[in-house]
Amino acid sequence: MQQRTIGSRKVSAIGLGGMPMSIEGRPDEDRSIRTIHAALDAGVTLIDTADAYHRDAGEVGHNESLIGKALSSWSGSTSDVLVATKGGHLRPGDGSWTQNGRPDHLKEAAKASLQRLGGDAIGLYQFHRPDPDVPYAESVGALVDLLDEGVIEMAGISNADPSQIREAQEVLGGRLVSVQNQFSPAFRSSRPELDLCAELGLAFLPWSPLGGISKAGDLGSRHDAFAEVAEAHGVSPQRVALAWELALAPIVVPIPGASRPESIEDSVQAVDLELSADELERLSAETLD
């Protein structure tokens, strides 16, 4: 498996996003664990989760607990697996998403996440989404305290704009290692953030890199260029999308969500798909509907 860098850690160039295994429409636990084990078997060493990845009000941390169970039951060594989780986003249980970026909440949430995941410290902890009611620097300041206390090993941010990336880097005293924003063939407005991460040497982790849970399966029918390149190579349009994202910059580490072993097994093969310069230019220039 090709590797890329997040902070002080080397990880697989394709990660696994855990959200589809815990929110609405989720599979049974057995299939989810088989999906995580299939990812590990394929060489995936980055798994992304969040305490807000749950469906019902009384199950905060559902996905973290699921991942912890899958890691502990896998037959191989998980010493090189980096689990990235997030705090600051909430799901009251009615299908909505809310924010809580108060430092005290983030610190309590991180410690609760650590308990669910197990281990001595969280490998990568990310502030999930800016809270309009809390100054951004105050929220990121909680990550400083968590780093200093040893609760987390590395700090990242998610859903951030360029000014927030620079502010977080300043507040963290240069210890920011990653930015996780939405990016896909259908959603390219985070390209400035991707380019800034490349400039600053930060990992950029595209979430929903295939267009989201409900649209990933239709990627080829929505994007002609990706379908045509996929047909030329005899692979799926989803694999082409991930290969295109990997080619944009060496700091890009896509984290496609999966709830079936077959999905992540296809995704990881994107690291071996070589696209020509002409193909990459065509995919990047595709006119979006």
Residue 266: CB atoms within 10 A of its CB come to 18
Nearest-angstrom CA–CA distance, 224 and 263: 21
Marked catalytic residue, from 53, 125, 127, 204: 53
Residues contacting 239, CB < 8 A, separation 6+ = 230, 266, 267, 269, 270, 273
**Residue 55 burial class via C-beta count within 10 angstroms: exposed 0-12, middle 13-18, buried 19 and up:** middle
Q: Give Cα 101 to chain centroid, integer Å.
A: 19
Q: Position 76: which residue type? A: G
Backbone angles phi, psi at 17, to 5 degrees: -90, 130
Catalytic site residue 53?
A: yes
Nearest-angstrom CA–CA distance, 289 and 286: 10
Q: Position 34: which residue type? A: R
Reduce the DSSP state of residue 178 to 3 states and report it. strand
DSSP assignment, residue 286? P
Residues contacting 167, CB < 8 A, separation 6+ = 136, 137, 140
> Which residues are known to be catalytic?
53
